[in-house]
A and B are shown apart, each in its own frame.
Chain A
Amino acid sequence: MKQNPSMNIKKRKKKVTPKRAVTATAKYGLFLVYGLISIFPTYWMVVNSFKSQQEIYADMDSLRTFLPTKYIADMFGSYVNLFNAFDLFGRAIFNSFFYATIIIILVLLVNSFAGYALARFRFPGSKVMMTIIILILIVPVETSVIPLYTILYRMGFLSTTGVLGPGLRVVAYIIPAIASPFYIFMFRQFFLSIPKELEEAAKIDGANRMQIYFRIIVPLSRVVFVTIAIFTFMGVWNDYLWPQLLFTDEKYFPLQVFLQQVNNHNPKDISMVMASLTISTIPIALVYIFGQKYITEGVAFTGLK
């Protein structure tokens, strides 16, 4: 028994009284009900992706529908069928990773440069730029989708006859996704927290601004770079509206757009649909599991502002 007074308070709180028993039951009851509501659709999606279409429908009139497949040897059948039935499914996964990689690199480079300029330099326009950035954050993105489409059309990005053919739209997809007022703002706030003295010392040693940026600022800002990389990955991976408008050739569809091809295919195979949805969710789940620390910090940052 510890004699710490604060421990005593806790000890007293733990005593079971009828009132506490009722609150605890109510609390766990709520956890159970909302826990089931939270998890059952996703759980059902994953479990049923390992069944065949016949088994899914056969199980659906009983609670067997929530149990794993009876045919363990054949559990990856719908996944194999999915890749066989849709030759471009693998390509769509590749496309999504490809777009995400290129966009992440450019997003980090362009926005961190701008954030650095706004955090460290005094020049005409730097204050105005911050105001513009805040204003842009308020205007909803959807209103720009159609005008953006007309601009890309005017710039010739939507032509299908050039050297790149319909692949030109890949460029049209990537370039507008780079500049982000929000990320510039995030970078700036982070860079402001780095002491200036470190840069002054390097300046005296004769380093130029680029060297200072890459050798001092970037290594010290790993957290914000990783956080923004993760956010960008999730943004590109989950993006649906803009790519489904832009891409007309199936070969360039990112996964989110291609999922609809699987769902709308006639005749529909529900086990393949569930398999495709499960595959689409795996990278995001992995990012959340391994990037938890960074995501929590990023979420906290967005929550502060």
Chain B
Amino acid sequence: MELKSQKLSKEYFRFGKKTYSKKESIIGWSFLLPAVILGIIFIITPMVISLAYSFTDANLLRLDDVNFIGFDNFVRIFTKDALALKALGNSLFFTVVVVPLHLTISLGLALLLNWQKKFKTFLRWVFFSPVLLSLAVVSLLWINLFNPESGLINALLTMLGAERQGFLKDPDQAMICIILISAWAGAGYQMLIFLGAMKNIPASLYDAAKIDGANKMQEVFYITIPMLKNTMGFVLITMLIGAFRLIVQPMIMTGGGPVDSTVTVSLYIYRQGITFRDVGYSSAIAMIYTIIIATVALSLRAVFSKGEMD
């Protein structure tokens, strides 16, 4: 009896209220360690530093001389910087327009394809094909297609007898162009997610509905869409966050112009931090941005997974 308890105390230890095996803890932590070290240095620290920088006047060129300036950066965002607010407005506009458009296209295509028998694989590849292009390729391709002087789209418009447009060079059209391009480039991916989820809906549900005399429309609205609730929640959250993060397309295609009509929050954070080297101010905007995204993500998650969280 005495021997056994001695053995126990040697091989086990208490931490908090629980008892752990020493050996298991050591091996467990050694498997985890490389990821934890890298995560702390390259994921956690940047987040913490970003928060710390937002209260300072840190400059990229003199990172050894950083002064605490309280809430000055935050005051500047909301009172002295019209462009910051414009960037926020642009990002919101992009998000509010692109998400419904993107969702309609991807869900619509998935619904049409789910019961399709002829050419299903072919059509799926056709609709999916824009996803194969990287964001840089998408941007560089469309900047050429939308070129007002030598681009294909204006050539097609001329063929149809329509008027030539400025597209990305026109302050009223640039953001619309980026919205259309982004929905075009991304919809196929969500279509695939929806199709995958639709395949998992048990056929017995549809059979039961058929016996009850439901038509196709009723099947879609009373079975398919309700059964997609979880998937839809996930897709909506990723779409919203993804849309609010927009940066590569305006960075390559317009550089934020013309007349700042396509400056997004991400692009503005980047511009302040890298181009103007104002790391402190850039971090303050990044904090506001993080708060917006985290709030939206967490509240949507709560709405969509009432009582279903693991």
* Residue A296, interface by CB 8 Å: yes
Least CB distance from A129 to B in Å reads 7
Query: Smallest distance from the beta carbon of B304 to chain A beta carbons, Å?
Result: 12
Q: Does A225 sit at the interface, judged by CB under 8 A?
A: no
Against A, the Cβ 8 Å flags (1 = close, 0 = not) of B220-248 are 00000000001100110000010001011
Question: A179-B43, A303-B196 in contact; A110/B34 too (CB < 8 A)?
Answer: yes
Q: How many A-B residue pairs have CB under 8 A?
A: 251
Binds B, one of A55-63, A67-75, A76-84: A55-63
Cβ-defined contact, B49 with A147, below 8 A: yes
| B298 partner residues in chain A, CB cutoff 8 A | 138
| Contact present for A146 and B273 (CB under 8 Å) | yes
Whether A104 sits at the interface, judged by CB under 8 Å, is: no
A143, B25: Cβ atoms under 8 Å?
A: no
In the complex, are the beta carbons of B32 and A151 less than 8 A apart? no
- Contact status A184-B269, CB under 8 Å: no
Within 8 A of B (CB), among A221-242: 237-238, 240-241
Residue B29, interface by CB 8 Å: yes
Q: Known: A31-B112, A41-B145, A270-B150. Contact between A241 and B248, CB under 8 A? A: yes
Contact of A263 among B28, B45, B63, B143 (CB under 8 A): B143
- Which of A160-168, A193-201, A280-288 is the contact stretch? A280-288
Find out whether the CB atom of A140 lies under 8 angstroms from the CB atom of B290: yes
| Residues in chain A near residue B42, CB distance under 8 A | 148, 151, 175-176, 179
Q: A114 with B126: in contact, given A179-B38, A181-B39, A270-B144 (CB under 8 Å)?
A: no
Interface members, chain B 198-237 (any A CB < 8 Å): 207, 210, 230-231, 234-235
Q: How many residues of B contact A (CB 8 A)?
A: 90
A293 at interface by CB-CB < 8 Å: no
Q: Which of A110, A151, A285, A288 contacts B45 (CB 8 A)?
A: A151
* Contact across chains for B47 and A143 when beta carbons are under 8 A apart: yes
Q: How many residues of A contact B (CB 8 A)?
A: 86
Q: B167 an interface residue at 8 Å Cβ cutoff? A: no
Q: Can you list 30 pairs linking A and B with CB atoms under 8 Å apart?
A: A38-B130, A60-B152, A60-B155, A110-B38, A114-B32, A116-B31, A121-B24, A123-B28, A124-B15, A125-B29, A129-B32, A142-B266, A142-B289, A145-B273, A146-B282, A147-B46, A148-B42, A150-B58, A175-B38, A181-B39, A213-B31, A238-B136, A240-B248, A260-B252, A277-B133, A281-B134, A284-B134, A299-B189, A299-B196, A303-B197
In the assembled complex, which residues on chain B have CB atoms less than 8 Å from the CB atom of A113? 31-32, 34-35
Known: A39-B129, A140-B241. 6 other contacts (CB 8 A): A9-B210, A138-B294, A179-B38, A240-B248, A274-B144, A280-B137
B97 interface hit (Cβ, 8 Å): no
Give residues 176-202 of B contacting A (CB, 8 Å).
184, 188-189, 192-193, 196-197
Please, which residues of chain B bring their CB within 8 A of the CB of A184?
35
- The A interface is mostly helix, strand or loop, or mixed, namely helix
Known: A61-B158, A113-B31, A148-B42. A42 touches B129 (CB 8 A): yes
A37 vs B43: C-alpha distance in the bound complex, in angstroms? 39
- Name the B residues within 8 Å of A121 (CB-CB): 24-25, 27-28, 31
Q: Does B41 contact A (CB under 8 A)?
A: yes
Q: How far is the CA of A146 from the CA of B34 in the complex (A)?
A: 24
CA distance A57 to B144 in the complex (A): 12
Closest to B145 in A: A41
Expressed in whole angstroms, the minimum distance between the Cβ of B215 and any Cβ of chain A is 10
A256 beta carbon closer than 8 Å to chain B: yes
Nearest CB of A to B282, in Å: 6
Q: Is the CB of B159 within 8 A of A61?
A: yes
